[in-house]
Amino acid sequence: MRALVVEDDPTIAQGVARALVEAGFVVDRTGDGEEAEHLGSTEPYDVAVLDLGLPARDGLAVLESWRKARATFPVLILTARDRWADKLAGFRAGADDYVIKPFRLEEVVLRVQALVRRAAGHAQAVIAAGALAYDTQLGTFTLEGMPLKLTAMEHRVLAYLIHRAGRVVSRSELAEHVYDGDADRDFNALEVIIGRLRRKIGADAIETERGRGYRLRR
């Protein structure tokens, strides 16, 4: 999953980004409202964590701009503004959740994971596809009840596919969500990773739709 963290306090931004990376997310960071507006309107994020008090452009204005640009990814507002009027304004602008500073990083990660899961249409914390199961809160995979050992990139790819189990995911879409923003998006490397995953979870578990992409069977 690819997340955008918009926070002008470098200590908070680094802490949130690190916690999300440890939870398996690919994270882009910015502390500037104008850059955040551009990134959220042009990049395919799965979720955003957004501060309201930003330089250059206020967080509410950024969020309103994203929604006007038809960006549908869920947004968690992270702010020191704790008045009901501020919360109401945030939800009316298009926020999906709201956390007041100070906060626990663990809570932010859990809320972000829940937003991503629900946005993909999953109500339960554990997503299953056949004998494969993914605990979105623990960030762990099991196959027939046994823990599955994966590399970091294998985990990213399989997590994205299981959130969208049953539908075709193009190579370009997959690359956009599992590689860091400034990393080279190598389709050949993705094919190698898909091959390794097939050996670990079953040759028929991930189907290739020629000319379209990959589909994890339910």
Taking the model in full, what pTM does it have?
0.86
Strand partners, 98: 77
Domains and CATH numbers, the chain: 2-119 (3.40.50.2300), 126-216 (1.10.10.10)
Strand partners, 48: 4, 75
Neighbouring residues of 217: CB distance < 8 A, sequence distance ≥ 6: 129, 130, 165, 166, 204, 205, 206, 207
- Taking Cα atoms as reference points, which of 13, 21, 72 lies closest to residue 44? 72
Q: For residue range 125-184, what is the model confidence (pLDDT) as tens digits?
A: 999 999 999 999 889 999 999 999 999 999 999 999 999 999 999 999 999 999 876 656
AA letter at 211: G
> How much is the mean pLDDT over the chain?
93
Q: For residue range 24-44, what is the model confidence (pLDDT) as tens digits?
A: 899 999 999 999 999 999 999
Task: Report the C-alpha gap between 58 and 141 in whole angstroms.
Answer: 39
